[in-house]
Amino acid sequence: GNSVTQMEGPVTLSEEAFLTINCTYTATGYPSLFWYVQYPGEGLQLLLKATKADDKGSNKGFEATYRKETTSFHLEKGSVQVSDSAVYFCALSPNNAGNMLTFGGGTRLMVKP
């Protein structure tokens, strides 16, 4: 079956530090990959996505590259801000499954001033 594994949190960083949140997946075929973010008290929202190998998704200074050889989609940001504090979810969707997403367990990021 399909599965997504994320690094466990919480991840605590100082403002302007470099962020990496690891995500690896197991899936048959060529899934699409996503990062969603959940700010405190809000629902999830799409942060970025990549639909084929070697694609790089980017948004709001975050980026992630679809690596088929390592089945990974790590999230990175060069300089985090306090406002980036949230829970980040990696997800995949098999291309024949419409919008059926399989989510990872989520990683809480806390950024301190």
Partner 1 sequence: EADIYQTPRYLVIGTGKKITLECSQTMGHDKMYWYQQDPGMELHLIHYSYGVNSTEKGDLSSESTVSRIRTEHFPLTLESARPSHTSQYLCASSVGGFTGELFFGEGSRLTVL
Task: Give me the residues that bind partner 1 (CB under 8 A), please.
Answer: 32, 34, 36, 41-46, 49, 51, 87, 89, 93, 95, 98-103, 105-106, 108
Smaller CB distance to partner 1: residue 6 or 74? 6
Smaller CB distance to partner 1: residue 76 or 103? 103
| AA identity, residue 48 | L
In whole angstroms, the minimum distance from the beta carbon of 44 to partner 1 comes to 4
Cβ pair 16, 64 in contact under 8 A: no
Integer-rounded Cα Rg, in Å, for the chain is 13
Separation in Å, CA 44 to CA 23, 54, 79, 84, 97: 17, 25, 22, 14, 20
In whole angstroms, the minimum distance from the beta carbon of 2 to partner 1 comes to 10
Chain position carrying tokens 């899934």: 31
Smaller CB distance to partner 1: residue 42 or 69? 42
Bond preceding residue 10 cis, omega within 30 of 0: yes
In whole angstroms, the minimum distance from the beta carbon of 86 to partner 1 comes to 11
In whole angstroms, the minimum distance from the beta carbon of 87 to partner 1 comes to 6
- What are the residues facing 113 on neighbouring strands? none
Smaller CB distance to partner 1: residue 26 or 79? 26
